[in-house]
Every structure is written in C-alpha cells, then in structure tokens.
Structure 1
Amino acid sequence: MRKFAWVGVAALAMLSASAQAASQSGLDLDGMDRNVRACDDFYRFSCGGWLKANPVPGDQAVWGVDTKMAEEIRGKLRAILERAATQPTPDTKKIGDFWSACMDEAAIEAKGTAPLQAALDLIAGLKTTRDAADILAKLHRMGVGALFGFGSQLDFGDATQQIAAVDQGGLGLPERDYYLKADRADLKRDYEAHVARMFVLAGNDAATAQKNAATVLAIETQLAKASMGVVERRDPRKLYHKQKTSVLEAKAPKFGWTTYTRAVGAPEIDQLNVVNATYPQAIDALLNDKDLPRLRTYLAWQAMHQLADGLPQRFVQETFDFFGTRLSGAKELKPRWKRCVIATDGVLGEDLGRAFVADAFPPAAKVKMQELVKALDQVFAEDIDQIDWMGPATKGKAREKLAAIANKLGYPDKWRDYSKLDIRRDDWMGDLQRGAAFELQRQLNRIGQPVDRSEWEMTPPTVNAYYDPQKNDINFPAGILQPPYFDVSFDDSVNYGATAATVGHEMTHGFDDEGRRFDAKGNLKDWWTADDSKRFDDKAACVAKQYDGYEAVQGTKLNGKLTLGENVADLGGTRLALLAYLKRAAATKSAEMDGFTPTQRFFVAYAQSWCTNLTPEFAKRMALTNPHSTAEWRVNGVVANLGEFAQAFSCKAGDKMVRTTQCRVW
C-alpha cells in the first residue's frame, strides 16, 4: 500500500493557480522553501511552503497533498450523487437512493435507537453457550464484527483457489498493544469512559453504564492477550494454519464452528485457514453459561460501536469525540455530505466509480500509464540482472516473478453486480446492514471457487494503489491517476518522480520482506537459496535500523520492523523510477526547466508527492500501528540513501541528506 491505512490516499500537491502559471514542468514551485538547503532537509526544501500554507483542517487528522486531492474527488462524487438522487437512471438509482437515505438526518433522528433494537434483541437471546454460534453469525451479517473475523482468502498453498478463513478481531481500540502496554494506560482509561457514555446514550443509568464499560474493557483485554501483534503479523508464514474444520471443532469445542459457518451463509466447508492458530481457544474461554451476561454486554457494545453511523447524531458525535479527536487529533466531525460520500463509496463503490471514471480517466491517460509501467518493468528486469548480492538461481526466479506481475489500471474490466442488494431511500440503518451482508456474502461465495483475478480490492475513485502478493498484480485506481498527481501534460520528470515512483513502490512490494515469501504464482513458497535469503535479511536489517532512529513525533520513534516493507518499497521504487526516467530523459534530451535539472525535478516531484501535515495524535498512532513511515521520512529516509540525489544537488559527505552507511535492497 502506498499510504496511510486510515485515510487510504496518495497524491501530488494541489497546484495553486500562481504555481501553475509559473511552472513549466508541473512542480509546485510555491510549495517549496528555498531558505532550507536541499542537502540539510530535502522534505522541507520541497514542501516547506506547502506545509505553512496548508494547516490541518478541523475535520481532518492528517492533511497532505493526497487528502487534499481526495477531498476534491469527494466534491465530484457529491455532484454525481446529488444528480443520481434527483435525476436517477437505471445505472445510478441505487447510489442515489443510498445517498438520499444517508442525507435524511431528520428521519434518522426521528427513528432514534429503534434501528439498533434488532441487534440488541438478538443479543438478548444468548441464553446458553450453544446459542453463540448462530447469534454471532447473524451479528456478522448485520455488520457487527464482534469476537473474530470470518471470510475468504486466497489459499497461501495454492493461489488458484479460495478458502475460508477465521481470524482474530473484536477489539475496539486499534490493536492489541493499546490494551497491554503501560504507556497507553491513559488512552485505555479514556476509552472505557467513552464506552460508558455510549451505554448512557443507549438508555443505561450512569452506574450500570460504568459497570458495563468495565466488563467490555476486561473482555477486550482478554481478546487482546490472545491476539498477534502488528509486527508479528507481517510474516505470512505465521498466518497460515490450514486445517480441517473438524480439527478446529476439536480445539475449540464450545463455539460450534460448523453451526456458525452454515448460519453465516458460507458453503459447506471441509477445511479453512485459522490465521491466528490459538485465537479460537480464546473465544471458547469466554463461553461459560455463568459468564454469558458479560458476553451479552460486550456484544451490545460492539453493536452500538459498529452501527453508530446508522444512529442519531449523539452516537456519531460521541464516537468521533473519542476515535476522531482523542485518538487522532481531529477537531471537528466531517460534514454530513462527506460522510455520506465515503459511505456510498464503501457500500456501492463500483457503481459510484463507474459514474466517476466516465469523465475522470480518459484513454490518453491509460496509454501514458501503460508506457510508464512498461518502462519500470524493463529497468527492474535489468536491475535484477545487475544485482551483486543475489545468485543466478534466485535471480531466475525473481525475473520470473517480475514478468508475471499483472498491471491493473483505472477500473475493473467487469463491473460488480449490485442488483441483489436492496437499497431503500427511507431506511439508512437497513441500507448499511444489508450492504454489510451483501459484501460478506460476496466474500463467502468465493469459498471453494477458482480465483477471479479481474476483481479489485479498491474502488475506482480511491486515491491509493496496492500490490496483491497472491494475485501478483499492481492496482492503480483512477482516483490516483488524476491531475495534479498525474497528468499527460506534465513533464516526464514530474510524472516519473511521483507516479512512476509509486509504480516502482508497488512492484517492489513483490520483493520486500513479506512479498518475497510468495512465488510468481502467488503461493507461499521459499524460492530463495539460503545464502541469498541471508543476504536479503542483512540488507533489510540496515533499513530497519535506519528507520528505528527516526521520530514520528517528539518522544515517539518509528518501528523499523513494522515499517520495513513500505520503506524497502519506497527505496526500491524511487530508485527504479529514477533509472527509468533517466533513460527516457537521455532519449528525449530533457533540458533544465523551472530552474532545475531533469534529475533535480524528479526528486522534487517525488518529495512533493508526500507533503503532509499531521496532528501529533495521528502521528503517534501511525508510529504505533501503521506499516507506513510518516511522510518526512518517506522522503528524507529515501534520498539519503541515493548517490544520484547527492550528485544532483551537490551534497557532500557530512550533509544530513547523505548517510554514512547507505542502505539498499533493490
């Protein structure tokens, strides 16, 4: 993934009218700070002006060139949805009805907590442990993902097939260490207070609400202790425990897994992947008849928490006050229209995306992207041949994997069929729950079926990109391929510095510390010789150590092991994009422009693709849970390892942007 998990976006700086007028190449010249030496702090040299002019808006926790572009796209999507609501066509009626239901705040307020009652009544029916499997299945279909996650995945052992998978889940806080680490005790305390306030909003008295909140925290802490940490989950070998369903039933006999899989709507399942091998036992440990009142309390909380978007404003605001403000630093709740655009994209993203790409991704843009991807393919293949730390056998497998990478650009070849999804203009909570059930069923229908490699995991308007190690493909939605991030009229230095670096980043993910575990067909298979594997680990350790030394925010450092894959991809992708650009620049005899040489323009464009302001709370949250480094280090950490950068800006040994020990994997 290119960008932050919570916002899922990446793009180049929005060019002001004055910058556009002054720039020949497409660089944001006003966004720079020429008072900073490029060799001292290249991020602020390239982004200092932008950072000063673009403080984080009140309804955001992070504000970068990417989120700014995503906001512009949301404005376009809003116009599409408003038109669909008032002038529907057969292709847009569903998104128009969904939007109308979301925007009808008066109707939502009038219904109060009544739409929540079906879930609460279901939970109240949990009288014995034998009831748990059926009730959890029905809650999961309502969009209440309590206790654990269940769905489908490509089989790590045979990537042509899809199997069922059960995984850890059911936590309210971002991940396990929020419950277990002493340095997060204040957040845990504030979370408990938030849970209590939600119970009060649902009708409990203060004393009962406080008791319920303590119960919720105790159960979630118990689940957290059984959960794997974010660094451990980066190793795919630790996430594959395929077994017969009968084996799972024997290891965790209280829950009734076969009852659950049938009730949730899965086909008959003979075997499945238990992602966290010991987690089902933690579920069983909660299933004692005498403890069922505690479990009912936890489930009621999960229903309120996960269905809050379908409830009156007081629930939405309280949820934002903790998760948006306390946890992430945003000061204001997003306006209703933005939240409704995001919700529509989440439930009906390909219907909305089809309307978006009709105008947003012309054929010329796709042709340009295809040329750019081809150029990256060529230099990556040449680079593999020239690498001195990899032996011939592993090189052959690496070339085979690179050649097999599929490139998906813009939007799916086949649009998703939402005809069986019932959307009603007067039933907002129902639309959310039916949307959740529709998506879960779509996932479950894959089980036992061959892989459909044409499917996308992001919607077309998304400002992001990703690599799928099992499909071995890179995916660039139309949302990220827009000006000013990418434009056929930009100088190649800008398109290569920003977009080609992202292409190279996603390609390199196939060969980072996670992606290298999968072969050309997407199977979890060790295709490395022992010596080459050790040399890779040694080179990766250099990167991990480098980023361990960077602070995301004062007092909180990055986790080099957590961010290793993204950092390796940033380093490798930027270098590959530079090699591809220099080949093209040499062929076209690219000249100085905007006062910069071709190579300098490339690096400034790369840096400007990351201009980002963060709240301190969000920066800390990223450092603790997110596999991406903060933007400053995605720039300075990369260029400090590249001799081409030092040469381009005449940096000398001892300058901050020239590392004494330079790290390079790819």
Structure 2
Amino acid sequence: MTRMTHSSRLMATAALGAMLFGMAPAVSVSAKEQAAASAKADKPEIGDFGFDTTGMDKSVLPGNDFYAYANGTWAKNTAIPADKSNYGMFTALADLSQKRTQEILEAAKGDPNSMIGRAYASYLDSASVEAKGLAPIQPWLAKIRAVDKPGLAALLAEADRNGVSHFFGGYVGQDDKNPDVYIYTMFQGGLGMPDRDFYLKDNERNAKLQAAYLKHLENVLTLAGEQDAAARAQAIYAFEKQIAMVHWDKNDSSDATKVYNKMTLAELEKAAPGFDWTSFVRGIGVKEDALLVSQPSAFTGEAKLIADAPIGVLRDALLVRSLDGFSDVLPDAVAQEAFSFYGTALSGTPQMQERWKRAVDFTTGNLGEAVGKDYVAKYFPPETKAEMDKLVKNVIAALGHRIDNLAWMQPETKVKAKKKLANFTTKIGYPDRWKDYGSLEIRADDLFGNALRANQWQHDDNISRLGGPIRRWEWGMTPMTVNAYANFGMNEIVFPAAILQPPFFDPKADPAINYGGIGAVIGHEISHHFDDQGSKYDETGKLADWWTPEDVKAFEAASKALVAQYDAYEVLPGEHLDGTFTLGENIGDLAGLNIAYDAYKASLGGKEAPVIDGLTGDQRFFLGWAQVWRRNYREQNLSQRISTDPHSPSIQRTWVSRNLDPWYKAYQVKPGQKLYLDPKDRVRIW
C-alpha cells in the first residue's frame, strides 16, 4: 500500500489467501455431501469468521503488544521460505498469484501465437541461455568499452532506452502544477546500493555491506572479462561514494514541494555544467524544453563528478550496471552473482527462486496486462468487484463525516476537502482498457532479446505520452499485484485484483474482519490524498496551497506527535524508525483505521454487532487489522527496510491502534501497559 506521485518512483510490496469461492460439488453426491459442500461454500476461507484464531498468543496482554497477542503463535510457528527475505500475508498471497499465473502461462507455452507463452518459454529455456553465454549482451558491452567523453551523453540515452540504470534517471508523468500536461521528470541516480546512507553512515552493518558490495563489483568485472578487477572495483566504489555525498537524503527527496523544480533544458545546462544535457535529453526522445529536475543540487554535483572522472571509471560503472540489470536473463553465473549481493547480502535471502517462479515474474514484469486479462477472467469474479464498490463508498462516506467533524480544520478548507473527496476515482480489480503490446516482438528462443526489446518498448511507450492527452485509463500495477496505491495527480485510488482476497477481503467473512482488513486499506489509500504530501494536491490533482495557515499549523503539530511516536521505536538494536520518512504511510495507517472503524459502525445501522467466539465486533475489527500485518523478516531485510522503505514494519503498523480510543475500550487497555497512551497523547489527525 503506497502513494504514487510524479516526483517519486512507485514502490510496491507484496500478501495470503486462498480461492475466494469453494469448488462446485460433483454431480453424483449424496444429499448429506451436498449439504456439507454448501455449508463449506458459505464459510469464510480463514477460520470460523475470517480470522485465524489459532495464530493468536493469548498469554500476551493486548495492551502490552497487540501484534503478539493477535499474531504471536503464527509468528513463532511460521518459517521464512529459503527464497524469501520475509514472509507474511502479503507474500503468501503473492505466492498464490504467482502459482495461478504459472498455470495460465503453462497453458499458453505451447501456443506459438501466444505472446505470453513465448515469453515464458524463452525464460524456461535455460539450456539455450547457458549455451549463448554473454554473446547476446556483447554488442552493448562493446559500445560501453568504446565510448569517450564526447559520446557519453548519447550512450547514456541509449542505456535509458535499453533499461540500464546509470547516473540519473527519468520518466514521463503529469506536471504536478499542471496535471493535464505530461512532462519529463529527472531524478538523481548512480548508486549501486539502495541509498546514500549505505555509503555515508558508519556502523558495523554498513561496513559489512560495503565490503560485500566492493567484492560484488570486482566479481562482475571479472565475469565481464576485465583485467585488474579489484583495483577497478575500488575506483567505482570511490566514485559512487562521491555521488552519495551530493545526493539529497530520502526525506527531502520525498517532499513534493522541494522536488518540484521546473526548468528549461538551457537552464539545466547552465545549472549543471560538465555534461551534455541536450544530447542526453534529445537522445531519449524528449523534444520539449520544459523539464522537472527533482534534486537540482545533486545534478550540479553529479555533472561535475562525471566531468572530472576518468572515462575508464565511467565505463566500468556502466559495465557493472548492465550485467546487474540483465543478470536474470544471462547465464546462471551472472544471475547468481547479482543475487549473492542484492538477495543475500542486502536482504538475507539464502536461495534464489526456482526458475519457473522467475519465469512468471519475467513475463508479468514485461507483459503484465496481457497476462492480467487472462488472470482476472479466471480468478476475479464480478461479485468481488461489486462488493468492493460498496465498501469503498462506505469508507469514502465515513471520511466525509470525519472532515465535517474535524475541530482543527477551517470551514472554508472543509469545503475544498469535501470537493476533493467527491472527485475521487476508484479503480478496482483491473483496467477498463488494456495495453496493446502488438508492436513488441517476443520470440520463444531469444530471452535476452525479449528483455531488451521489452525495455525499449516500455521506454518508447512512456516517452510517447509527451504532447498527448492524460491516459487516465492506465494503471501503475498489474491485476496480479498484491498491493494498492494512491495517485495524487489523477486523484485516484487503485486496488488490483490480487489483494482483494482473504485475509484482506472475503465476502463470506464477518464484516468486522473485512472492515479491519480491506476497509482499512481503502481508508489508508484515500487518506494518502490528505497526508503530509497528498494534502498538497487539490481536487484536480494540482500541487497547490489550498489550506489556510491555521490548518497547516494544526496538521503539522499533530504530525510532529506521530513522528515522535515512531522515532521512539527501536526495531533492531541501535536502529530506530525514521518517523519523518515514514510519516505519510503512518498517517495512512492511522487515518485508514479510524475511517474504516467509522464505516464499520455505520454498516451496523445502530445495532450492536454479535459476539462471535467470545469476541465483540470491535475486538474482531482490530484483529482483522492485525491479521493482515502478519510477517516475519530476516534481520538484513528488516534493517534495509528501516533505511529505504517509507512503510513501518508490520509490528509497528499493527501498533497504530494505540491511538484509537475504541481499541482501549475493546481490550480494556490500562495505564502501565506498554502500548498505553494517555488520551491527550493519542494522535488524532483525520
């Protein structure tokens, strides 16, 4: 669950479940068997009412650790699979989605007329990949080895089109201050590790990662056939560390106002001398002069570093990026080397996924909507979409009531907020219009070529947006993705089919579980449009000041309290959450849970919910929230997430309930218990 703006890249996560509906009984069965099958079809997929009570640890007081109370036995008994860095509800549902997609692709594999079948078959043909070795990528590597400084800009433009990351990146998105127009946005790049802090923060964990990364650079250069790889790896690392020093940090890079820097191409040339920006920008296909430059000072610094760096270091950095970027479609020696650093050293994952799983991911990653069309036809019944429509309307209505009753928001701002809410677009399940991949060549015997051509197709498709109408029909995720997102420029919330399953949503489950699960997810995504960044966009999706100074002051005060609450969480010894970096997602969790609770209570029509298995409706609602966050992490993955993921870890996401008064009443949480907050200290925003 995340937010998507056009000043930052889309992030995504992944979740559990099973088939939404029971299988139909066979024709020749007894009446007793038919009755049993019918009863099973009416039961939720999980437990008696949609919640797995066997995963609870009732020896823990909810007020001491609500996550452990709701999920402790599950956490104790659930191992992380060898090919995963973490495992929970998201990953279990992602596994289900992957398996279902495999069945679709296996059926298509033998059909020469099926594009998705050919793509899948090309990945499974490992013998052909090994036989070809590095031959498919050699023409590109030869260009890198031959490039000189005057030709560098044109080569980097070609790298962009080929899908090879380099010293900066870019994409076409809406102009935040003119959302009816597309513009090319540029952002800082050039690092092989996930964030500047991995280079600049001195601690034991980073020291180990730096050593592992240095060895990785050496190993990749060796695989490329280069001599003196150790010394050349040191030079790449030293160059990247210099880049890290001019990069903006993650908090500034997440600020929609700070990253909106519109300039002409001529102004960029003047602001960041030392690099041929005109050749680069024109080379990637951008004809317009207007650009958005997300981190101007970083571009100034990087242009100078590129100008001063020996051409050999720049070539070597591009060689490594190219082999890493295409590692999964090259021989196993290259794939294993990339995995050893990015999978094992960074995330703690011991084992690479089986080839069929990687083949599924390759096909969905490049032809997602072609696969998605078959997926939703088979696994997303119309009833689910209809039920989701109802839930979304109820949750939006609940937020409307909350806005009406906000004590801190000025009356004139409430009118604008309600207008923004009324303008929301909700996308559920799958696109109304599918992408057309007809111009993309996919061959069953050419894995590397398929990957290269798919990258080029995606680049060209992205650039072709410039000068055209806004594609409001487009989706940023495939139907098989277990996630959801908010898009500020489109003023929309989006829920792919694969997340609309248990434990998030089950039409047969107790409504309390559904409202605590998918209801809070809906509330989370809606509230993103009113969080620390989303609140900067008006009802048209425009980056604009539409709050009064009094509103801003009150919102910032409440936000600071939430920042302090999350800053205090020590997730690993010596490693605390960054409450500023995670603020938007934490507001989403807090607001989403509040809004979903109101919607749940409204759905009862003034009646009390029944007690089920000794649990009240309110208790079940909060258990529904806690259940979706069941997740175990490998330590390396958890540490990396603290530095790079704007979402808090699952335990702390569950704990957001400590800010809701009904949670205290539901579980009789008392002063002295670890999660207890005095009423005046409970953060109340939306």
TM-score, length of structure 1 as denominator length: 0.95
Q: Which residue of 2 aligns with 1:647?
A: 665
What pairs with 1:95-494 in structure 2 (closer than 5 Å)? 95-127=116-148, 129-183=149-203, 184-205=206-227, 208-266=228-286, 268-288=287-307, 291-494=310-513
> How much has 1:175 moved relative to structure 2?
0.9
SS at match of 2:436: coil
Find the aligned partners of 1:204 and 1:309 in 2 and give their Cα distance: 21
Find the aligned partners of 2:570 and 2:18 in 1 and give their Cα distance: 24
Asked if residue 31 in structure 1 is aligned to residue 55 in structure 2, the reply is yes
Asked if residue 40 in structure 1 is aligned to residue 64 in structure 2, the reply is yes
> How much has 1:529 moved relative to structure 2?
0.7
- Give the counterpart letter for 2:150 in structure 1: R
User: Is this contact kept in 2: 1:130–1:255, CA < 8 A?
Assistant: no
User: Is this contact kept in 1: 2:18–2:502, CA < 8 A?
Assistant: no
Q: Paired residues, what number?
A: 657
User: Is this contact kept in 1: 2:44–2:507, CA < 8 A?
Assistant: no
User: Is this contact kept in 1: 2:413–2:546, CA < 8 A?
Assistant: yes
Asked if residue 76 in structure 1 is aligned to residue 105 in structure 2, the reply is no
> How much has 1:2 moved relative to structure 2?
4.5
> How much has 1:393 moved relative to structure 2?
1.5
Change (3 A) 1:145 1:9: same
> How much has 1:265 moved relative to structure 2?
2.7
Asked if residue 621 in structure 1 is aligned to residue 643 in structure 2, the reply is no
What pairs with 1:560-579 in structure 2 (closer than 5 Å)? 560-579=579-598
Q: Give a deviation string over 1:485-510, Cα, whole Å, max 9, x none.
A: 31211111111110000000001101
Find the aligned partners of 1:290 and 1:97 in 2 and give their Cα distance: 43
Asked if residue 52 in structure 1 is aligned to residue 73 in structure 2, the reply is no
Q: Which residue of 2 aligns with 1:526?
A: 545
Change (3 A) 1:379 1:308: same
Find the aligned partners of 1:391 and 1:58 in 2 and give their Cα distance: 53
> How much has 1:13 moved relative to structure 2?
9.4
Find the aligned partners of 1:146 and 1:378 in 2 and give their Cα distance: 46
> How much has 1:665 moved relative to structure 2?
1.0
Q: Between the two proteins, what is the percent identity of the paired residues? A: 38
Find the aligned partners of 1:237 and 1:230 in 2 and give their Cα distance: 14
Q: Which residue of 2 aligns with 1:659?
A: 677
- Give the counterpart letter for 1:131 in structure 2: G
Find the aligned partners of 2:564 and 2:426 in 1 and give their Cα distance: 32
User: Is this contact kept in 2: 1:215–1:297, CA < 8 A?
Assistant: no
- Give the counterpart letter for 1:37 in structure 2: L
User: Is this contact kept in 2: 1:154–1:161, CA < 8 A?
Assistant: yes
Find the aligned partners of 2:360 and 2:147 in 1 and give their Cα distance: 36
Aligned with residue 9 of structure 1, among 9, 14, 32:
14
User: Is this contact kept in 2: 1:646–1:657, CA < 8 A?
Assistant: no
Aligned with residue 85 of structure 2, among 61, 67, 72:
61
TM-score, length of structure 2 as denominator length: 0.92
What pairs with 1:485-634 in structure 2 (closer than 5 Å)? 485-586=504-605, 590-634=609-653
> How much has 1:257 moved relative to structure 2?
2.3
Flag structure 2 segments of 5+ consecutive residues without an equivalent. 4-8, 23-39
User: Is this contact kept in 1: 2:246–2:302, CA < 8 A?
Assistant: no
SS at match of 1:240: coil
Find the aligned partners of 1:272 and 1:420 in 2 and give their Cα distance: 28
Flag structure 1 segments of 5+ consecutive residues without an equivalent. none
Find the aligned partners of 2:46 and 2:118 in 1 and give their Cα distance: 44
> How much has 1:663 moved relative to structure 2?
1.0
> How much has 1:589 moved relative to structure 2?
5.0
The root-mean-square deviation of aligned C-alpha atoms, in Å, is: 2.1
Find the aligned partners of 1:98 and 1:456 in 2 and give their Cα distance: 22
User: Is this contact kept in 1: 2:51–2:503, CA < 8 A?
Assistant: no
Find the aligned partners of 2:658 and 2:364 in 1 and give their Cα distance: 38
> How much has 1:578 moved relative to structure 2?
0.6
Find the aligned partners of 1:189 and 1:505 in 2 and give their Cα distance: 39
User: Is this contact kept in 1: 2:81–2:87, CA < 8 A?
Assistant: yes
Change (3 A) 1:626 1:67: same
Greater alpha carbon shift after TM alignment, 643-652 vs 118-127: 118-127
Greater alpha carbon shift after TM alignment, 563-572 vs 141-150: 141-150
User: Is this contact kept in 2: 1:13–1:608, CA < 8 A?
Assistant: no
- Give the counterpart letter for 1:658 in structure 2: Y
Find the aligned partners of 1:226 and 1:290 in 2 and give their Cα distance: 15
User: Is this contact kept in 2: 1:130–1:254, CA < 8 A?
Assistant: no
SS at match of 2:181: strand
> How much has 1:279 moved relative to structure 2?
2.9
User: Is this contact kept in 2: 1:11–1:463, CA < 8 A?
Assistant: no
Change (3 A) 1:290 1:79: closer
Find the aligned partners of 1:290 and 1:657 in 2 and give their Cα distance: 53
Change (3 A) 1:289 1:620: closer
SS at match of 1:232: helix
Find the aligned partners of 1:407 and 1:290 in 2 and give their Cα distance: 49
> How much has 1:288 moved relative to structure 2?
4.0
SS at match of 1:511: coil
Find the aligned partners of 1:644 and 1:170 in 2 and give their Cα distance: 48
Find the aligned partners of 2:47 and 2:200 in 1 and give their Cα distance: 51
- Give the counterpart letter for 2:662 in structure 1: E
- Give the counterpart letter for 2:215 in structure 1: A
> How much has 1:171 moved relative to structure 2?
1.3
User: Is this contact kept in 2: 1:215–1:298, CA < 8 A?
Assistant: no
Greater alpha carbon shift after TM alignment, 256-265 vs 131-140: 256-265
Find the aligned partners of 1:489 and 1:229 in 2 and give their Cα distance: 46
Find the aligned partners of 2:299 and 2:61 in 1 and give their Cα distance: 55
User: Is this contact kept in 1: 2:387–2:507, CA < 8 A?
Assistant: yes
Change (3 A) 1:546 1:134: same
> How much has 1:5 moved relative to structure 2?
8.3
> How much has 1:280 moved relative to structure 2?
2.8
Q: Give a deviation string over 1:89-113, Cα, whole Å, max 9, x none.
A: x5xx111111111111111111111
User: Is this contact kept in 2: 1:23–1:594, CA < 8 A?
Assistant: no
Greater alpha carbon shift after TM alignment, 463-472 vs 548-557: 548-557
SS at match of 1:238: coil
Find the aligned partners of 2:308 and 2:258 in 1 and give their Cα distance: 33
Change (3 A) 1:162 1:24: same
> How much has 1:251 moved relative to structure 2?
2.6
> How much has 1:53 moved relative to structure 2?
2.3
Find the aligned partners of 2:304 and 2:492 in 1 and give their Cα distance: 40
Change (3 A) 1:481 1:617: same
Find the aligned partners of 2:308 and 2:295 in 1 and give their Cα distance: 25
Find the aligned partners of 1:640 and 1:21 in 2 and give their Cα distance: 29
SS at match of 1:63: strand
Find the aligned partners of 2:17 and 2:64 in 1 and give their Cα distance: 22
Change (3 A) 1:58 1:72: same
